[in-house]
Amino acid sequence: MRYLVLIYTNPDARQLWEQLPEAEKASGLRAYAALNEDLAASGEMIVSESLADPSLAKHLTVRDGEAMTTDGPFAEVKEQLAGFYLVECNSIDRATEIAARIPEAEAGVVEVRPVRTFSGLEM
């Protein structure tokens, strides 16, 4: 089954990251590298990406057939989507184990969601 592991951050966590000593930042990056290597070796990794700052985003709505976009930055929100992993593993428990290794889980929020196929949940 496929799971989307969503990594959220918040302004406080981002500020905390910016203030960390370089050695601690390097440790966090090594944790990501180790997770990526482990998931690639196990065959569970489908894709993982980090997202650009929300100020670079565009919101889109379509009303009466007309597309309207709004440039960021947007209203202050508590949490912002910062990145994701798409993994394939045997259970949500395994996906949760993977999510627990993500450094942001200690300062932000990490969410695990099953991915549905067009025919419904892939169970």
- Look up the CATH number of the domain holding residue 70: 3.30.70.1060
pLDDT reported for residue 47: 98
Task: Determine the structural domain holding residue 95 and report its residue range.
Answer: 2-114
The predicted structure's pLDDT at residue 83: 96
- Asked if residue 96 is part of any domain, the answer here is yes
User: For residues 79 and 16, what is the distance between their CA atoms, to the nearest angstrom?
Assistant: 14
> Has residue 103 been placed in a domain?
yes
- Phi then psi dihedrals of residue 51, to 5 deg: -100, 150
pLDDT value, residue 120: 63
Blockwise average pLDDT, block size 10, the chain, 123 residues? 94 82 91 97 98 87 94 74 96 98 89 87 55
Q: Which class for 7: exposed (0-12), middle (13-18), buried (19 or more C-beta within 10 A)?
A: buried
pLDDT value of residue 53: 83
Q: Looking at residue 22, what is its pLDDT? A: 93
pLDDT for the residue numbered 49: 97
In a domain, 119, yes or no: no
pLDDT for 70: 87
Q: Name the phi and psi angles at 41, rounded to 5.
A: -65, -35
Residue 50 is predicted with a pLDDT of 94
Q: How far apart are CA 90 and CA 23, in angstroms?
A: 35
pLDDT of res. 45: 98
pLDDT of residue 75: 62
Number of domains in the chain: 1
| In a domain? residue 15 | yes
Please spell the DSSP secondary structure of 38-89, one letter per residue. HHHHHT-EEEEEEPPPGGG-EEEEEETTEEEEEESP-S--S-EEEEEEEEE-
In a domain, 122, yes or no: no
